[in-house]
Structure 1
Amino acid sequence: MAISAFPVISGRFLVNGEWIKGARITDVINPANITEVVGEVALCSKEDVIQAVDAADSAFRSWSRTTAEERASRMKAAAHKLSEAIDEHVSLFVRENGKVLAEAKKDLLRCVEIMSKAADALLEWWQPESIPGGQMVQIRKRPRGVTAVISPWNSPMILTFKRVIPAILAGNTVVVKPATDCPLTVLSTLQVVAAHFPPGVINIVTGSGGLVGEILCSDSRVRTIAFTGSTDTGKRIMSLASGTVKKLYMELGGNDPALILPDAVLDETAMLRIRMGILRAAGQVCSAIKRVYVHESRYDELVDKLKKEFHQVIVGNGIHPDALMGPINNKTQFDFVRGLIERTKQSGAKVETLGHKLDPDTWENGYFLLPSLVTGLDQQSELVRVEQFGPVIPIIPYADVEEAVELANDTEFGLRASVWTADSQKAEELADRLQAGAVFHNNHTIFQDLHLDFPGLKESGLSRETRWCGLELFADSFGFAN
């Protein structure tokens, strides 16, 4: 695949329809080749962020009064245009994020799908709903105001579009803050989308989370904050947002357990699903499997089969079609995962590093890690307690299902979980007891239907379930009585 020059949005941010060159910039590095600069990202000032909120607040006054039909029509046109430009964005996404080609393209295609499905959902969901009774009462919807979307570096495309698209379809305006480590594809694709909407409906500011994020979360004109990232940052956002009682939509950390029951079918399909649940995007997924609890009667079998799965993984530059897993996205996370693995080894646990290097000669030029499988740990081990966010997984045996449920729930997180069993009724029973926002049976993935989403429990998130592509999270319902 040909490598393109800097994208046209390099070093720029978007305010009121104008792409502005940043007075200060920093490089965006290819994590698979840290000597390659993919582009530049602007480091916005306080004044830049305030201007973006000004633009969004001003545009809201007219955009909020448009019809649902107009908003859906504009979104459909934008989705069609973006669908025509997917291929030209794939290599950019791989180069700045590290995902392999297949994963990168799938993410971009899902962004277009989000746009189309949310536009269709809007036309039905926006209609007033009458409540039966002696008095005529309707539930009606209204846009809320300026929405701040703060997106992460690990899955920036899907996790930006799943917030931005329903927000503007519901009649809000947005100020988007992409992650500094991986902003370029977000900027480039939203450039295509923003061209179909009035100036100020979509604004994008980049730079320090400590500066940009704090301003967005403190400004009284921002009425909703949609954030995906660490739990610690989420707590800081809650504190800042409390001053003006903003609505919060937050997907935070996860330490997802997978429970392998005695009757689990561990065939090729199941093992591939388990491997992908662990290693998709090099393990840099909030809802990845991060702990595996397996019944002691199946322990040796699972460990042996998972070793074989991990050994098939080819790690390298995602731009190469033979790569099955790419690098860690940035040096901070790379150093954390390497340090975690080293401390795990020093604790006396058995760490088996598997897989193959696609190009050993250039291995040290990127943030590459081979996948590791760890045994000999207990529930209090660091690797079991933290969100590793990398290609390393602890395997822990248990004696009975009661113990497994207790171990799975023994965490401050509660994002996703999975149960692997041939008994679907048993899976449902355990799902009722596992403290997670969603539980999967014989899989550990995302919902195929993009209408659906479920918030994490405990310290993994703050929101509510949605069956309408997230539209419910970005509009206020009110009663009208006659």
Structure 2
Amino acid sequence: MISTHPFVSGKYFIGGEWIQAEKTAKVINPANVNEVVGEVALCSKTQVDEAIKTAAKAYENWSQSEAEDRARRMQKAAEELKNIVEENVSLLVRENGKVLVEAKKDLLRCVDIMNQAAEELLEWWKPETLPGNQKVQIRKRPRGVTAVISPWNSPMILTFKRVIPAILAGNTVVVKPATNCPLTIMTFLNVVSSYFPDGVINIVTGSGSVIGEAICTDSRVRTIAFVGSTETGKDIMRAASGSVKNLYMELGGNDAAIILSDANLDDEAIKRLRIGILRASGQVCSAIKRVYVHESRYEEVVDKLKKEFQRIVVGNGIQPDVDMGPLNNKSQFEYVKGLVERAVESGATIITAGLQLDPDSWEQGYFILPSIITGVDHNSEIVRVEQFGPVIPVLPFSEVKEAVQLANDSEFGLRASVWTENEPLAMQLADQLEAGAVFHNNHTVFRDLHLDFPGVKESGLSRETRHCGLEFFADSYGLAD
């Protein structure tokens, strides 16, 4: 079994070799900022260039491999990876801040992604013959070097959902994990890489601006898969325009939940609403960021959400009885606190709930109790922005048309949800909402890993997918007689 975390700490990975970096930074535990979990390499432009060069060289042979061989390698890697999930759950909790249950689910889903994508590849890769009086086939071929730039909030799933289909489609990859929590990603990719030729997977870490610029301006990189903020996405688009790269980007979100007057607000529904808001301490692109409630149910929703939030135990996610961990980093912690402080200064009411697991060590981590924000309007800062924390503004509306207009009045369009017992009306409103996906009486993720839907407007690029994302990393071409 391949060694885990200490093997990758302070190193980067090129051509099948882990290389100790001259410069490193500390990876700290957001639940206890005095604990150093490991080190992250601070790569230079020269090292990024070497990673791209190595990936481009490996692509020459890997792109000619058979789909069956690629799928078989991936399935064997998934079998090995499953064996180290348990021993690495605590590592993900310590560097990211997730609670144990969420962390283990994330790691197991990485294994599921590998198996499902490998299975999907075999059917998807087959040529498709079009009907007509000329024989025309649609065939697929890999595109080249793929750069995968990952975020800190859900680093495992959002990395694997891009790296795995990219290499299954016959590409080679250069992966840039977030500096806040790279260790579990590198540990897992270390295992995956051992089943593939050297150079198929390469990993560089460090400054987003240094590595991002090197990746985006290099003509050898043909695809960039990025998950992160909309502003960084715009920077990538500008930098990548010189060589007209393929961009696959999941960007920011300000998801609206619309609760109609006839909504079923029993305990299970409120629990689903709470999970949609507070999953991963609210640090989810597709979490509910604002709630619009029909005025006839407004006080009821606020009261029930408050009672639901009061049950949430906040603390170090390594403890099994914790429901919500800290925010991942100091910058995000201070941003969310600033949003709340400015909301109060503007006249908002803050309803703070939840329980501190360990009040004595509370100040040692980036902990924030969940809060409901009332007394704000649609143009308030805390409503307009992507909070990315456990705070939720709740606003009343009187007419359904008004709620849809408010939900759509945003530069974002990632997810939305409609809460009503009238399913035909929910379908009608879904057609009107400007979002990449709309949920009915829920606000969650797609359980089937084949499925995902990027946002519209400034929430993302590329329309997704029934094929585990494989289509984003290959070009289709026609073969005709």
Interval of TM-score (by shorter of Structure 1 and Structure 2)? over 0.9
Q: Matched residue of 1:432: which SS?
A: helix
Code of the residue aligned with 2:251 in structure 1: it is L
Alignment of 1:170-181 (within 5 A): 170-181=169-180
Instruction: Give the equivalent residue in structure 2 for 1:73.
Output: 72
Q: Whole-Å Cα distance in 1 between the matches of residues 397 and 475 of structure 2?
A: 46
Partner residue of 1:90? Answer: 89
Shift of 1:279: 0.3
Q: How many residues align?
A: 479
Cross-structure match for 2:282? 283
Alpha-carbon distance between aligned partners in 2 of 1:192 and 1:283, rounded to the nearest angstrom: 30
- Structure 2: distance between partners of 1:15 and 1:8: 14
Q: Indicate conservation of the 8 Å contact 1:6/1:38, yes or no.
A: no
Which deviations, in whole Å up to 9, do the C-alpha atoms of 1:206-256 show, x marking residues without a partner? 000000111011100000000000000000000111111100000000000
- Match runs of 1:218-367 below 5 Å: 218-367=217-366
Distance 1:218 1:164 in 2: 20
Q: Do the aligned partners of 1:350 and 1:376 also contact (CA within 8 Å) in 2?
A: yes
Query: What is the root-mean-square deviation in Å for CA atoms of aligned residues?
Result: 0.9
Q: Distance in 1 between matches of 2:53 and 2:4?
A: 33
Partner of 1:53: 52
The C-alpha deviation readout for 1:98-153, integer Å capped at 9, x for no partner, is 00000000000000000000000000000000001111100000000000000000
Structure 1, unaligned runs of 5 or more: none
TM-score normalised to structure 1 length: 0.99
Q: Which runs of 5+ in 2 are unaligned?
A: none
Residue type matched to 1:444 in 2? H
**Mapped contact 1:131–1:139 kept (Cα < 8 A):** yes
State the one-letter code of the partner of 1:247. Answer: N
Paired with 2:131 and 2:392, the residues of 1 have a C-alpha distance of 53
The 8 Å contact of residues 431 and 439 in structure 1, kept in 2 or not, is answered as yes
Q: CA separation in 2, counterparts of 1:190 and 1:214? A: 23
Letter in 2 for 1:44: C
TM-score, structure 2 as length reference: 0.99
TM superposition shift of 1:453: 1.2
> How many Å apart are 1:10 and its aligned residue?
0.3
What amino acid does structure 2 have at the position aligned with 1:168?
I
Deviations 1:414-441 (A, max 9, x none): 0000000011111100000000000000
The 2-side partners of 1:405 and 1:464 are apart by: 23
Within 5 Å, give how 1:121-136 maps onto structure 2.
121-136=120-135
Aligned-partner Cα distance in 2 for 1:25–1:59: 27
CA–CA separation in structure 2 for the residues paired with 1:53 and 1:8: 22
Corresponding residue number in structure 1 for 2:62: 63
1: CA distance between counterparts of 2:279 and 2:342?
24
CA contact (8 A) 1:30 1:97 kept: yes
Which amino acid in structure 2 is aligned with residue 21 of structure 1? Q
In 1, distance between residues paired with 2:333 and 2:302?
Answer: 25
Give the corresponding residue for 1:145. Answer: 144
Given that 2:155 and 2:181 are in contact with CA atoms closer than 8 Å, whether structure 1 keeps it comes out as yes
Q: Which residue of 2 aligns with 1:167?
A: 166
Give CA-to-partner distance per residue, 1:420-473, whole Å, 9 cap, x none: 001111110000000000000010011111101111000000011210000000
1:81-110 Cα shifts (integer Å, max 9, x gaps)? 000110011000000000000000000000
| Identical-pair percentage | 69
Instruction: Tell me, in whole angstroms, the C-alpha distance in 2 between the residues paired with 1:28 and 1:345.
Output: 33
Aligned counterpart, 1:479: 478
Distance across 2 between alignment mates of 1:296 and 1:411: 22
**Structure 1 letter corresponding to 2:365:** G
Secondary structure of 2:195's aligned partner? coil
Provide runs of 4+ in structure 1 moved above 2 Å.
Answer: 4-7
Corresponding position of 1:35? 34
- Following superposition, the deviation at residue 7 of structure 1 comes to 2.4
User: After the TM superposition, which residues 437-452 of structure 1 pair with which residues of structure 2 at under 5 Å, given as runs?
Assistant: 437-452=436-451
Distance 2:406 2:131 in 1: 46
Residues 63-94 of structure 1 deviation map (CA, whole Å, 9 limit, x = unaligned): 00000000000000000000011001100000
Report how far residue 5 of structure 1 moved.
Answer: 10
